Structure 1
Amino acid sequence: MNGRFAGGLLAMLLASGAAQAAAVDLRSPDGRVTARFEMVPGRGVSYALRYAGETVIAPSPAGLLFTTGPDAAPAPAAGLRLLGSEHREGRDRYRPAHGKVAAVDHGYDEAVLHLAAADGRRIDLVARAYDAGFAFRFLLPAGGPGGFVGGEETRFAFPADYACTGLNLGRFENSHEGEFDDVAASHIHAHSLYDAPLVCRTGTATFALAESDIEGFPGAYFSGRADGGLGVETRLTPAPGAAEPAIATGAAAVRTPWRVVMLADRPERLIESTLIDDLATPARFAADAEWIKPGKASWDWWSGPMVPKPGFDTATYRRFIDLAAALHLPYTLIDEGWAKGAGGGGRVRPDSDITQTAPGIDMPGLVAYARARGVGLWLWANWKAMDRQMAEALPLYARWGIKGIKVDFMDRQDQGIVDFYHKLLGAAAAQHLMVDLHGAFAPRGLERTYPNFMTQEGVMGAEYNKWTRRITAHHNVSLAYTRGLLGPMDYTPGGFRNVTPAAFEPRVVGPEVMTTRAQQLALYVVYLSPFACLSDAPSAYLDSAGKPFPGVDFLMKVPTSWDETRGIAGAFGHYVAVARRSGKAWYVGAITDETARRISIPTDFLGGGRWTVRQWSDGATPEALGVTTTTITAGTPIPAALAGSGGTALIFEPAS
């Protein structure tokens, strides 16, 4: 059929009776992703999804729940019928400001189902099949019946007891930080709240459930089916203190996020996917604006006060600016402590003021000091203070010459916080400020809509080394196959006090990491973050004479935004190898869990020709590195011995 609906049904305006039996088919350009929508009498819309001939999602309901108010129980639209439908073949063509690739050109097959309910409410269901997956969303035009969307009855029914991996947060208000644990589909319960993505393996394919393009609507979690069957249901996030969400209808149009199923034949291939961004609203301002510049930063918070006479003062911040200048990093991030009454831990003191500096800090002087050394500054702020003072603070930062802001502790994904994201990103763009969001939900494609949105947390990252033993090598590998699929991830690697898991001790000042130096280097390739921190102290990267320690040369060179991305090897949850291209050079990062292993790194991605390869490998101790330089012909596999909790990092450049 090659992208056409069977029998041309979608070209017809269907009568109500015939519509109830109509089937609407979708097929991706390569024919591997196929979906069918059907009207089930008395029930509404049902869909099913197949990949390479295998049923991935069994017939499942797709619909919204409506309510007349906060005290009324949500219910499906009564008497839903199909009025008609449309079909088209489309393409996403755009050039991202930053991210996995330099350019996108992806085709899709699209259907729009025009639905009507007994009360006159109109609902459009828009669905697309891409080579990389499948997605659908609901559109409610303005002017229809009032009331509220009080939930969804969208389900993803599994035809078998899939092996899944997910982050069960268990409550609506949270920082979206934790371990992605393996779970059988039959053990996902109705009271569970799994964050995006939920990744499952069918035996022949891997898929990830997620969402994209969120605006004027709350974020969703995945819960086990209320009827106890295999699969999950969509659970919308209510406002704090509310039992259920309430999205007003009637006066304004309502557009739900896309419900997304990312698909690949091998798990590591999902790392290549740009589907979340493809589905997002296109950039609302020039994506190639000259003030939007990806890059790395020195950072004062993670390592603790490991500088002479430390403090929240100009002298301390200058030391981190000097580090950035020495390593040719474009930025320094000044974290919590620079502003008057700055609040951490989600708290904001009554006297806090993010337009005034704390005693001992000369911010205009720091900006000038940094500028003279080719370094730009980013500033941290608590989101509550930012929400209160946004109109004053952002123009002030622009006048100071600040390059970006890190906004922290939202710890929610209800509609109010989604609205705050849009408000902040738009206001920051007006002042030519880039943005890093912490205490944030996982990516929904907003970095395409707002190209100044460089990275976000929503991950249990390296900061947890300061107070827990939870940042294991297994956790790091798991992130590549889960949270890392969706978009930029401010994990903050670069810890250079590398010890074995047995020797590791959590500590706030001078934190250690229980992975090797080579794994810390590889994380800059395995994980995507267009704004990326070197998390450790100046003394961790430079000796007393200012000479870089082993591995710093790789950190100085590795880019943060890419022209091409490939998932080239791996075993789900055990090890992974990722290749990314910048210009003519390719970078590869490979990491393993606690098991030492010998792997073969394929080089077919190089295309052809001869290449000079520099490789940073695990040494005899966690801090040790072996560095070699060789010349190979494209297609020649490269053997790599990864220590337990280790990795390797490579740079390929055309041989002269």
Structure 2
Amino acid sequence: MFKKQSIFLSLILSVIAFKGFSQQSVPLSLKMKNVGFTFNLNAQGTPVYQISYGKNEAVKSSVLGFKLDQGISLAENFKLLKADSVTVDETWKPVWGEVAQIRNHYKQLTVHLVQQGQKSILLDIVFRIFEDGLGFRYEFPVQENLKSFVVKEELTAFNMTGDHKTFWIPADFDSNEYKYTSSPLSAIDARKWGLISSGTIEGNIPDQSAVQTPLMMKAANGLYINIHEAALIDYPSMQLHVDKSTFGLSSSLVPDARGNKAYMRTPFHTPWRTVIVSDKATDILSSKMILNLNEPSKIENTSWIKPMKFMGVWWEMQVGRTSWNYTDQMETLHGEGKYVPNGRHAANTENVKHYIDFASKNGIEGLLVEGWNKGWEEWTDDKEEKFDFVTPYPDFDVKAVSDYAKAKNVKMIMHNETGGSATSYERQMDTAFRFMNRYGYGSLKTGYVSGIVPRGEHHDGQWMVNHYIRSIKKAADHHVMIDIHEPTRPTGLHRTYPNFMASEAGRGNEWNFFSDGNPPEHETILPFTRLIGGPMDYTPGIFKLRDYAPGVPERQMHSTLAKQLALYITMYSPLQMAADIPENYSAHMDAFRFIQDVAVDWDDTRIVEAEPGEYITIARKAKGKNEWFLGAITNGEKRETVVKLDFLDKNQIYTATIYADGKDAEWKTNPENYQIKTIKVTAKSVLKLMLAPGGGAAVHFRLLTNPKL
């Protein structure tokens, strides 16, 4: 349960009633440290806002509004009825996270507007200004002239001051798994990489000038600007259309099968639109604004929610050694109802026990098994009924595996791939979760590969947004933690539903096996983009970095082994996978020690240095321990990073075990070359870490209990 430590919760500082103001009303402004914000109604009665940082403009005057069904345009002719303001300063404790407690300090301005016309419509806009940015949302109060309605377009704009350097992926309605492009706003081409989702490029990426959020930008004057959203519930995902001539960004909501965006009934409020801004890149990564804009936990008893590391019967199938499906002869199955085994099925009882043995021996808490249940032979077909979530293949003994794992103190993780058929999964959810409870599965990974059923809906549309939340709530009802793959990108909802541990919603580590992989700068961009809204199940820890794909020798990890270790720190998740197979870890048990030791829950996090697309260094303090872990990664360039250890306790001596790139390490030609050494350090020490091209370094700091030894 989220426990608020009420340091100070201010009363309303002012309730300001503005009545009888003209459409050219006096601007309303708020400021928190360097961040300033102004609201106004322009000459047409259109709501507009502006954001500044210090003396610089961050977001130029930008319009707000909607187009609804029945020809209703909420874009002009508004009048200000009144405005309320409040200041809040409180501290709360997350169930798990990057820090032990979070300060939620903001000033809020609510403007109550009425659109003048034959049928007056009420619209409130709530702005919250923080020291690191602005969040705002629309609220539709109960009213006589607007009850049920359809959102056709949201007109929210974010007008930039110039042709900023931008880190972006295409606005695909059904996938976030694209490589990031770094370019000026004016050079954005959403169809640059073709289409990787199911469907057609015209249907899934209809706007060639649209990008996904979180969108990361850097202005010529040094400002870092990140645009995203918070608390996405009962509404479609927000993407952004880019006007390449004016550098203006505008909200572009993901449509449903009919082309509509959202179906609403008053009272209703949208998700928060968020703008994080700073002149330091490190501030973007340390921001907790999106979490603060989400509601506190709706789960009262959270004692069963536990971060953990896990392994998986997974990577061997990704690289083609074995298969998810049990048979290759579907004609026999359909003709006689009998399975003819292909001899390559990975999720068999004996193989799973082999993984359990390794995990148990090496202190890895959990094990995920994919491909255990019937349906994998036709899982990507365009049909509705694909999987049975309680019936195993003939070679997988659910009870025997569960009993064996329990005896070995390993927690089994359930896998429910839907193949995109959300309707079928919803019909089977209750049965599936009762099955998990029966056999002791406390964690679940779901998946939505392929096109969505109901047909015509999209992964990022309103219907699926609600489906994901239904699955999270159902999991909570059964005390099951959940990790969702192929969903919409997260928006901080893990504060409200802390059993929502992680999601994919981005281009994960397995893409280094697919196609041309992830370029070395990929992991230096993801924390500024995909991870802004929540943890990512990136699946780090691959140790065999080349020659793992039979028949495709050119495929390899765009990473050194030391960087794979560093990702456990720089790519935050409370659910971290040791993604490789046991045999590949057995060959490097000295390096595997870091995966055994690294924490997954934290009391403190320090962003030491960061620059999107170039480098990131992060230090984290383990929950309840005086131990720190540090991860440093670079792009394709060799780099020396100098780290002051002033985050360590003063007047204490620590041992620092350093897992670093070897002298001749390089991601392409010599990726598995690493070195390990242990030295003594204090808070006054400075570490110099050499990072190879595509490389990194991981450090474990332990308090030295007897400095004389």
Q: Is the shorter-chain TM-score for this pair beyond 0.5, marking a shared fold?
A: yes
Q: Counterpart in 1 of 2:330?
A: none
Q: Counterpart in 2 of 1:229?
A: 246
The equivalent position to 2:302 in structure 1, one of 269, 285, 289, is 289
Q: Counterpart in 1 of 2:476?
A: 429
Q: Which amino acid aligns with 2:151?
A: V
Q: Which amino acid aligns with 1:371?
A: K
Q: Counterpart in 2 of 1:24?
A: 28
Offset of residue 349 of structure 1: 6.7
| SS, match of residue 277 in structure 1 | helix
Q: Which amino acid aligns with 1:364?
A: K
Please say if 1:397 is aligned against 2:441: no
Please say if 1:652 is aligned against 2:694: no
Offset of residue 506 of structure 1: 8.2
Matched pairs, number: 629
| Structure 1 residues 346 and 488: CA distance shift in structure 2, 3 A | farther
| Structure 1 residues 492 and 345: CA distance shift in structure 2, 3 A | farther
Q: Which amino acid aligns with 2:125?
A: L
Q: Counterpart in 2 of 1:584?
A: 626
- Per-residue CA deviation, residues 31-65 of structure 1 (Å, 9 max, x unaligned), is 21110001113242110001122110011112222
Q: Counterpart in 2 of 1:602?
A: 644
Residue pairs, 1:189-268, within 5 angstroms:
191-202=208-219, 203-225=221-243, 228-239=245-256, 241-249=257-265, 252-268=266-282
Counterpart CA distance in 2 for 1:508 and 1:607 is: 49
The equivalent position to 2:561 in structure 1, one of 491, 496, 517, is 517
- Per-residue CA deviation, residues 241-272 of structure 1 (Å, 9 max, x unaligned), is 333313223xx422111000112322133222
Kept after mapping to 1: 8 A contact 2:24/2:45: no
| Structure 1 residues 92 and 262: CA distance shift in structure 2, 3 A | farther
| Structure 1 residues 298 and 352: CA distance shift in structure 2, 3 A | same
Counterpart CA distance in 1 for 2:381 and 2:410 is: 29
Of residues 432-441 and 265-274 in structure 1, the stretch that sits farther from structure 2 once superposed is: 265-274
Q: Which amino acid aligns with 1:336?
A: G
Q: Counterpart in 1 of 2:197?
A: none
Kept after mapping to 1: 8 A contact 2:23/2:78: no
| Structure 1 residues 415 and 342: CA distance shift in structure 2, 3 A | farther
Kept after mapping to 2: 8 A contact 1:518/1:646: yes
Q: Counterpart in 1 of 2:667?
A: none
- Per-residue CA deviation, residues 84-131 of structure 1 (Å, 9 max, x unaligned), is 010110135321122221211231111111111232321111101111
Please say if 1:439 is aligned against 2:515: no
Q: Which amino acid aligns with 2:406?
A: R
Of residues 410-419 and 185-194 in structure 1, the stretch that sits farther from structure 2 once superposed is: 185-194
Q: Counterpart in 1 of 2:326?
A: none
Offset of residue 18 of structure 1: 3.9
Q: Which amino acid aligns with 1:282?
A: P
| SS, match of residue 426 in structure 1 | helix
Kept after mapping to 1: 8 A contact 2:150/2:260: no
Offset of residue 375 of structure 1: 0.8
Residue pairs, 1:458-477, within 5 angstroms:
458-477=505-524
Q: Which amino acid aligns with 2:521?
A: H
Q: Counterpart in 1 of 2:402?
A: 367
Please say if 1:316 is aligned against 2:318: no
| Structure 1 residues 531 and 447: CA distance shift in structure 2, 3 A | same
Kept after mapping to 2: 8 A contact 1:343/1:349: no
Q: Which amino acid aligns with 2:264?
A: A
Of residues 335-344 and 269-278 in structure 1, the stretch that sits farther from structure 2 once superposed is: 335-344
Kept after mapping to 1: 8 A contact 2:412/2:443: yes
Q: Counterpart in 2 of 1:633?
A: 682
The equivalent position to 2:83 in structure 1, one of 72, 76, 85, is 85
| SS, match of residue 182 in structure 1 | strand
Offset of residue 460 of structure 1: 0.5
| SS, match of residue 316 in structure 2 | coil
Counterpart CA distance in 2 for 1:508 and 1:533 is: 25
| Structure 1 residues 303 and 270: CA distance shift in structure 2, 3 A | farther
Structure 2 gaps of 5+ residues are 1-11, 190-206, 323-342, 453-457, 665-669
- Per-residue CA deviation, residues 512-545 of structure 1 (Å, 9 max, x unaligned), is 42311100000000001111111111111125xx
Of residues 89-98 and 526-535 in structure 1, the stretch that sits farther from structure 2 once superposed is: 89-98
Counterpart CA distance in 2 for 1:309 and 1:244 is: 45
| Structure 1 residues 150 and 309: CA distance shift in structure 2, 3 A | closer
Q: Counterpart in 1 of 2:328?
A: none
Counterpart CA distance in 1 for 2:140 and 2:482 is: 31
Structure 1 gaps of 5+ residues are 1-7
Counterpart CA distance in 1 for 2:383 and 2:364 is: 31
Offset of residue 142 of structure 1: 3.3
| Structure 1 residues 452 and 198: CA distance shift in structure 2, 3 A | same
Q: Counterpart in 2 of 1:163?
A: 165
The equivalent position to 1:298 in structure 2, one of 311, 328, 331, is 311
Q: Counterpart in 2 of 1:387?
A: 426
Q: Counterpart in 1 of 2:294?
A: 280
- Per-residue CA deviation, residues 199-256 of structure 1 (Å, 9 max, x unaligned), is 1112322111000001111111011139x421210111111x333313223xx42211
Counterpart CA distance in 2 for 1:214 and 1:480 is: 20
Kept after mapping to 1: 8 A contact 2:541/2:579: yes
Kept after mapping to 2: 8 A contact 1:271/1:566: no
| Structure 1 residues 386 and 278: CA distance shift in structure 2, 3 A | same
Residue pairs, 1:601-620, within 5 angstroms:
601-609=643-651, 610-619=653-662, 620=664
Kept after mapping to 2: 8 A contact 1:437/1:456: yes
| SS, match of residue 519 in structure 1 | helix
Task: Give me the identity figure in percent.
Answer: 26
Offset of residue 607 of structure 1: 5.0
Kept after mapping to 1: 8 A contact 2:48/2:62: yes
Aligned CA-pair RMSD: 2.5
Counterpart CA distance in 2 for 1:343 and 1:136 is: 44
Kept after mapping to 1: 8 A contact 2:313/2:347: no
Counterpart CA distance in 2 for 1:254 and 1:143 is: 11
Q: Counterpart in 2 of 1:550?
A: 590
Counterpart CA distance in 2 for 1:459 and 1:498 is: 21
TM-score with structure 2 length normalisation? Answer: 0.84
Counterpart CA distance in 2 for 1:513 and 1:192 is: 31
Counterpart CA distance in 1 for 2:297 and 2:379 is: 32
Kept after mapping to 2: 8 A contact 1:481/1:572: yes
Counterpart CA distance in 1 for 2:658 and 2:110 is: 50
| SS, match of residue 357 in structure 1 | coil
TM-score with structure 1 length normalisation? Answer: 0.91
Q: Which amino acid aligns with 1:614?
A: T
| Structure 1 residues 152 and 358: CA distance shift in structure 2, 3 A | same
Counterpart CA distance in 1 for 2:552 and 2:85 is: 57
Counterpart CA distance in 1 for 2:263 and 2:233 is: 11
| Structure 1 residues 39 and 562: CA distance shift in structure 2, 3 A | same
- Per-residue CA deviation, residues 15-41 of structure 1 (Å, 9 max, x unaligned), is 23346322111112xx21110001113
Counterpart CA distance in 2 for 1:128 and 1:607 is: 35
Please say if 1:415 is aligned against 2:459: no
Q: Counterpart in 2 of 1:184?
A: 184
| Structure 1 residues 342 and 137: CA distance shift in structure 2, 3 A | farther
Counterpart CA distance in 1 for 2:552 and 2:535 is: 26
Counterpart CA distance in 1 for 2:98 and 2:381 is: 32
Please say if 1:338 is aligned against 2:373: yes
| Structure 1 residues 379 and 357: CA distance shift in structure 2, 3 A | same
| Structure 1 residues 246 and 455: CA distance shift in structure 2, 3 A | closer
